[in-house]
Amino acid sequence: EIMVNIAICDDDVKFAGRLEEMLIDYAKKCQIKIKIEVFLDGLELLESIKNQKELYDIIFLDIEMKDLNGIEVAKKIRSFDERCLIIYVTSYQSYAIEAYEVQPFRFIVKPSNESILYKYWEAALDKVLSDNSTFQFKYKREIYKIRLSDIMYFQSKMRVIYVYMNNGSVFKFYDKMNNVENYIEKENKMFWRIHQSFLVNSHYILKISHDCVELNNHQILFISDDRKKVISKYYRNLVIGED
């Protein structure tokens, strides 16, 4: 079952609490599993993402906060996560054009009525769920279905495929990596075969060198000689838009 990860980052405790209750209530009615984390400042949110190595699907982000405003927080988030939906929360009707640099999904202007909050939350949830391609496998008579965006990488060892998740958990099943790669290519183009034994979700690559990639959990995976050139090309295209 798919879990939708949500962060609320707002130093207005009353509004954050109201929003959290509304999201929980809506999720229960729709029978959707959600996990919500509430943060009172942007530094706390960034620290949590860094420590937990967990990306959020939807972030409700206050623009006017102490220390680090919502626009600066969003820019830092966008440096390693293009996927999450950012919904800005602001007390002003309009805001600087720089707010659009991080591709916000919606703007909520305080004070906001329940119907607007529900409307934007529903639209964000619909987009997240429609983007949730899944990977299915069978192990010991159990069928598992997990979201591709939550998989950091696949590793093949002695005909066993290990699936390493962004929350630290690991699954395994029996198959060939070529079969996994062929299936993944139909669903998600962001997985790169860096080695005969590794198929990596490029969203989790922190940096790349000539012979290895470093994931955002600081794990190092090696690139095989025959794949160095193509992986370098993929990365340049992803980071700076080269053809």
* pTM of the shown model: 0.56
Tell me which residue has tokens 């959020």: 56
The pLDDT value recorded for residue 172 is 95
Q: Which helix (H) or strand (E) holds 47?
A: helix 42-52
Amino acid at residue number 86: I
| Low pLDDT (below 50) residues in the chain | 240-243
DSSP state, 192? E
Pair of tokens at residue 14 = 């009353």
The pLDDT value recorded for residue 243 is 46
Indicate the pairing of strand 160-165 with strand 106-109.
Answer: unpaired
The pLDDT value recorded for residue 95 is 62
The pLDDT value recorded for residue 241 is 45
The pLDDT value recorded for residue 239 is 55
The pLDDT value recorded for residue 242 is 46
Amino acid at residue number 173: F
What are the distances in angstroms from CA 119 to CA 28, 59, 127? 16, 15, 13
The pLDDT value recorded for residue 116 is 85
